[in-house]
Amino acid sequence: MRWGETDHIEPHRATGPIAKIRPCPPSAAFTWTASASRAPAAWGLWGPIASRLSNPARRADSPLILHTSNRYYALAFAGRTVLFAGVETMLHRRDALLRLGTIGLGGITLPRLIQAEQSLKGRESRAKARSCILVYLWGGPPQQETFDPKLEAPEGIRSQFDATETAVPGIRICDQLPLIARLTDKLTIIRSYTHPSNIHEVSVNYTLTGRYRDGLVVPRNMRSRSDFPMVGSVVSYFSPPGALPAAVTIPRPIGHDGVIYTGTYAGFLGPRHDPLELQAPAEVNAPAAHSLDLPSGMDAVRVQSRLGLLNVLEQVDRRLQARGDRGAVAGLEAAREQAYRMLLSPAAKGAFDVSSEADALRDRYGRNEYGEAFLLARRLVEAGVRLVTLVWYYVSPKDGNVLNVWDNHGGTPSINGITGYQMLKEFYCLPSLDRGFSALIEDLAQRGLLDETLVAMLGEFGRTPKINPQAGRDHWGPCQSVVLAGGGIRGGEVYGASDRHAAYPTQNPVSPEDFIATIYHALGIPCEAEIYDQLQRPHRLCEGMPLVSLFA
């Protein structure tokens, strides 16, 4: 690694070659002098293509990562002093080094910078997984009718289905999941996932961000740029840029009636780290979520006028401009650039085209929205997406309502008021979960991708021990069963335990913070890292402890 120092670099020349780099002694220390008068009018944006942004209001002492050429990246403060590092050490580090708590803004020494870089490099080398597929059973599945059957419980609490033996002696799961039962040697079932909320909005936010915010209610609490980022956005933040975004949500984000839940995007990390969302929550009977084809008669030259993916960004842009949120606008420009690249990249578009798969494989996954979502998730991680969130929902053909069908109270008018028990037997619950999830695990294993792909499955909470009058169960945060597979997970195990009613954990309780920390651990992301909000306040990335004993 070569380091050098220069007194000044013009930001608008950040893409040009750098000359007269003086050797920098390893013991050198630098103190940055903040001066508003020195803040230039144009700042280079970090990215594969550096661009200009007029932002006179930007703090003069704020750090930048400047893309200087194919050989160098520059770490600059107020354009005053620049450090250069070889592309092999800094190209994929982004500004993660600045976000680690070991580096402050008041002063920096070269040894500390090198030490931080090596620390992050070591973390990445120990990563168990390259990607993660997060299967989110929106609504909250019943642990008693999935992975923690309680056949000895009293009437009115006892599991409504029988249990079946699995590939691992001593582990039994619901008999409606026979295909998954054959794969338990590859799964770790956690029967002690727990948190205190029974509210959808609070629990969705908590389980996807690791931050508990009581009192969240939609539409009063819309997601905003002050929110803590979801796990996919954090993964994006610590990932190198590519033709495809690092985080994708399929088939659509969590929400209904035109409102998307808090905890489902990048929040204060900005638009450039938002997961790609292909459909809005209010759309009904929309085309397949994996279609990125250009409209008929439109070629690449006319793609900028396309109504669709870029128009979504335009709508956000107008709201940000109205608020004067320049930092968010900058992130939006990066998101627009990526959307443009995706639309013009045959490889990127091809990743979304499940029709190119063999008929037999598509049949194995299931020829419905759930099977295709699982298949699409595999194609996306294969193409380089680091975290895919697969949101389970159902659009009622009766009235077009978007339903979180794992919320099996029973009696829902949009599905003819059937019981909670009947809901679980319908194709949109247990049958499609069994087929699609098992196909995903088998397909990843056959392609040699399971070892490098962590598969995690959970909902926002579990269900009550007591069965209600509609033969369903109600919201229950204190206990849920969640599943992990691949990405270094040993498999063939049950972690934790619940009481005889599946009401409370009795062994090894696992919090949302712990579960998210486990995902970060698998992907080589340091939980102790700090990220900064819009006011430059530091936030520890994750407060939980990874379940390291689950890894081989």
CATH number at residue 465: 3.40.720
Residues 112 and 180 in one domain: no
Does residue 314 belong to any structural domain of this protein? no
d(CA 350, CA 5): 44
Tell me the average pLDDT across 310-334. 53
Instruction: Quickly state the pLDDT bin for 280 (edges 50, 70, 90).
Output: low
Residues 51, 88, single domain; the answer is yes
Residue 287 scores a pLDDT above 80 = no
Total-model pTM: 0.74
Token code pair at residue 288 = 């397949």
Name which of 200-214, 289-303, 439-453 the model is least confident about: 289-303
pLDDT tens for each residue of 110-152: 343 444 444 455 555 468 899 999 999 999 999 999 999 999 9
Structure tokens at 189: 């079932």
Is pLDDT of 395 > 80?
yes
E strand or H helix at 341, and its extent?
Answer: helix 326-344
| Average pLDDT of the chain to the nearest whole number | 77
Mean pLDDT confidence for 89-100? 33
Q: What is the pLDDT of residue 5?
A: 38
Residues 412 and 459 in one domain: yes
Strand partners, 390: 135, 250
Q: Which domain holds residue 87?
A: 4-125
Per the DSSP assignment, residues forming a β-bridge with 465 are: none
**Cis omega (within 30 of 0) for bond into 346:** no
Q: What are phi and psi of 510, to 5 degrees?
A: -120, 125
Cα distance between residue 483 and residue 465, in whole Å: 20
Six-digit token string for 187: 């799964």
Q: Same domain, yes or no, for 437 and 545?
A: yes
Q: What is the pLDDT of residue 219?
A: 87
Residue 346 lies in a domain: no
| Domain match, 106 and 171 both | no
Mean pLDDT value across residues 314-330:
53
> Strand 497-498 vs strand 505-507: parallel, antiparallel, or unpaired?
antiparallel
pLDDT for residue 284: 46
Q: For the residues 202-225, what does the mean pLDDT come to?
A: 95
Same domain, 162 and 270: yes
66 falls within a domain: yes
CB-based contacts of 374, cutoff 8 Å, min separation 6: 365, 366, 390, 436, 437, 439, 440
Q: Give the residue from 536, 457, 464, 531 showing the smallest Cα distance to 502.
A: 464
Last residue of a domain, one of 70, 100, 125: 125
Mean pLDDT of 14-40: 33
Average pLDDT over residues 332-353: 69
pLDDT at residue 128 in the model: 87
Strands 187-193 and 493-495: parallel
Share of the chain above pLDDT 70, in %: 65
Among residues 125, 159, 194, the one where a domain terminates is 125
Predicted pLDDT at 257: 78
Predicted confidence (pLDDT) at residue 501 exceeds the cutoff of 60 = yes
234-279 pLDDT, tens per residue? 999 999 888 889 999 999 899 987 889 999 999 999 998 999 987 7
The pLDDT, as a whole number, for residue 330 is 57
Total structural domains in the chain?
A: 2
CB 96 within 8 A of CB 529: yes
Contact call for residues 110 and 81 (beta carbons, < 8 A): no
Statement: residue 473 has pLDDT above 80: yes
| Domain final residue pick, 96, 125, 154 | 125
Max intra-chain CA distance, the chain: 81
Write down the pLDDT at residue 378.
Answer: 98
Identity at 339, one-letter amino acid code: A
Kindly compute the dihedral angle of the four CA atoms of residues 479, 488, 204, 183, in this order, to the nearest 10 degrees: -60
DSSP 418-479: --HHHHHHSTTTHHHHHHHHHHHHHHHHHTT-GGGEEEEEE-S-EE-SS--TTS---EE-S-
Q: Is the pLDDT of residue 495 over 80?
A: yes
Average of per-residue pLDDT across 75-80: 37
pLDDT, position 259 = 87
* Residue 2 pLDDT class (50, 70, 90 cuts): very low
3-state secondary structure of 262: coil
